[in-house]
Amino acid sequence: MRVSRWFLALAAAALLAGCQSHPFTDYRPMTEAGFYSGTIEDLKKLNATDPEVPELIRLKSAGVSEATIVALVRIAHEHQHSFSSTDAVRNLAGANFSEPRILQIAQTDKLDSIGGDAVMLHVVGLSDPTVEWLLDRRLKGVPTMSVNTIADLKNTGLSEKDIVSRIQNGMTDAQGQAEAAARQKMLAHSHTGFTSIRGRKPR
């Protein structure tokens, strides 16, 4: 009985190992896309899956280096899931974020959320140093105003310097939204007034 249980345990372990590997993944499209053979071998060792292959090809076509592509797959697998954040990486690269910075975001396993926010901070119109500073805070887990609140404050005419000062002083999202609403109300009132409409004087 002990022997049979040992055999069953060994068979189960072998089956599990087989399920975790992907010996039938078709890497030929990667060869056709110009990936180096060494890169493909690295991806085989990481058990890159069929669904990941076209995503990785899209990254290469966007100019992401093969070393970074391999690192992104490795990081995703370390977090126990396949790599699927191609759009987030492409958007970050398109916004001129460096590959080491992209990998730093990937390590948090929040490429889609933090990466999306980082790109939007550029869209809002903040300077590169401020965007990098805000991103550092997010990566370190330091409470920081959301992109939406920052955008709302900026839309009311608040300067980037003033926004940074408020964040440094610990302004919360709720406080930021309250100030944005008050400033919007003030702006609305400043554009309203009584206009005297005079008709022609009777002759």
Please indicate, yes or no, if residue 174 is contained in any of the structural domains: no
Q: Which domain holds residue 59?
A: 25-84
Is the separation of the CB atoms in 148 and 175 below 8 Å? no
Number of domains the chain contains: 1
The reported pLDDT for the residue numbered 5 is 55
- The position carrying tokens 């060869």 is 31
Tens of pLDDT along 66-116? 999 999 999 999 999 999 999 999 999 999 999 999 999 999 999 999 999
Instruction: With a cut of 80, say whether residue 192 has pLDDT above it.
Output: no
**41 in a structural domain:** yes
**pLDDT in the model for residue 181:** 95
Asked if residue 52 is part of any domain, the answer here is yes
Residue 40 has pLDDT above 60, yes or no: yes
Q: Is residue 109 assigned to a domain? A: no
Q: Which residues contact 163 (CB under 8 A, 6 or more apart)?
A: 145, 150, 153, 154
Give percent above pLDDT 70 in the chain.
Answer: 82
Give the residue among 176, 118, 124, 120 at the shortest CA–CA distance from 151.
124
Q: SS3 for 21-78, per residue?
A: CCCCCCCHHHHHCCCCHHHHHHHHHCCCCCCHHHHHHHHHHCCCCHHHHHHHHHHHHH
